[in-house]
Chains A and B, each alone.
Chain A
Amino acid sequence: MSSVNPGALPEDEDKARSARAEWPLWEVFIRGQHGLNHRHVGSLHAPDAEMAVKNARDVYTRRNEGVSIWVVESRHITATAPGEKGPLFEPSESKIYRHPTFFDIPDDVGHM
């Protein structure tokens, strides 16, 4: 991924005075008006969770985009590796019977 690790808090006070004392990176998730799942909308830097929520509110909900915000520090997210794409996701490609459109239901039966 990236060569910097924006997730970690800088450790000592000396570093805090250098340019490397960046606030950690947070991922922002918003639930929209209509009760759908929280959805990833972007990221931002903030010193702690409380400020991350405040900043997320200021940046990502300026036009009624949401009714609830989650933030999580980026370094706490575990992700699948791009190389695993094949073994993880290809098996479902051949299982077309999992989709409702697989089945031919006569029109006479009505809506199903």
Chain B
Amino acid sequence: MYAQMVKSTGKGLKSRDEMTEEERAFQDRIDADTKIEPRDWMPEGYRKTLIRQIGQHAHSEIVGQLPEGNWITRAPTLERKMILLAKVQDEAGHGLYLYCAAETLGISRDDMTEQLLSGKMKYSSIFNYPTLNWADIGAVGWLVDGAAIMNQVPLQRTSYGPYSRAMIRICKEESFHQRQGYDIMMKMAQGSEAQKRMAQDALNRFWYPSLMMFGPSDAESVHSAQSMAWKIKINTNDELRQKFVDQTVPQAEYLGLTIPDENLEWNEEKGGYDFSQPDWEEFFEVLKGNGPCNAERLAARQKAWDEGRWVRDGLLAHARKKSARKVAAE
């Protein structure tokens, strides 16, 4: 979810007869729910797809700090500020867990950072939307983290060991994020008329971008079919989106807020809501770099990378000096 439109080999699924002996043994291990570990043999496509997927997920955690960081200095109370700060710190940790998982596949941290900055690697479309008022911070926690949890909970069972372990750690912390978001929404929705308007406005702006987080329908996608066979994707995008809508609508009702969708209706037959699709043209434009905040987000990452260089180099020079002295003393 934080990973969208991840391409796998693109060749379609191989039948057992088309597989080499190694590939067959590999698929058998996955089918038997045995975890694949870094030094195990794996098909090149599995390795590359995972690097793209985990890398994109890691970048999303890091870039995702920016829209929320925007409100740390303007949080309405000291308590809210400390909570938001803790959440943004968590996101940095999530990025770190995921970068470490990707590194076990043979890509370096710096390579990933450079590929993010050059635009070669992506991050989730959702973080290219601005956070305009305090209720947006509530909406981000409630909807964006809520959508992320939908995807991350099943990924705890993914076939790649380091990725699975990173997801387990992350899921433990995500529930704090979603609850803190909903807590903000409750406060706003039960507040003054102006606060209620802000809460509704935040929901209006974040609803469709949140639905986009799951990516377009992938029922026909060869990439998804391969990823699902490898168990690095567990559910289809449509399944997760449906689950998210079904879970979120009653939460909005509790808040007394209206989901901005005239077609939203309970469908008894399927046991879920019917709802409108987001504007997929907008989604592809955002992925291409034409969202409201793409340039700002990447510029902020570039600035942090450039201005942090002297710290990285300085600490390394210090470590090298100390280690040389130690050798000389021995």
Contacts and interface: CB of A to CB of B under 8 A. Distances in A.
Most buried by A among B109, B114, B323: B109
A20 B107 CA distance: 12
A23 B317 CA distance: 10
Given A47-B315, A82-B40, A22 B93 contact: no
Main secondary structure of the interface of A (DSSP, over half): loop
B26 to A, nearest CB: 12
A59 interface: yes
Interface in B67-96: 86, 89-90, 93, 96
A4 B107 contact: yes
Contact of B169 (A20, A42, A48, A81): A42
A45 interface: yes
- The interface size bin for chain B is 35 or more
Interface residues of A, number: 30
B313 interface: yes
A25 interface: yes
Interface stretch (A9-17, A90-98, A104-112): A9-17
Contacts of A13: 317
A9 B106 contact: no
A105 B241 CA distance: 55
Given A6-B103, A48-B322, A21 B312 contact: yes
B320 interface: yes
Given A1-B104, A16-B313, A42-B100, 14 more contacts: A1-B38, A2-B103, A2-B105, A2-B106, A3-B106, A9-B320, A10-B316, A21-B312, A25-B103, A43-B100, A45-B109, A47-B318, A48-B319, A62-B93
Interface of B: 37-41, 86, 89-90, 93, 96-97, 100, 103-111, 114, 165-166, 169, 173, 312-313, 315-320, 322-323
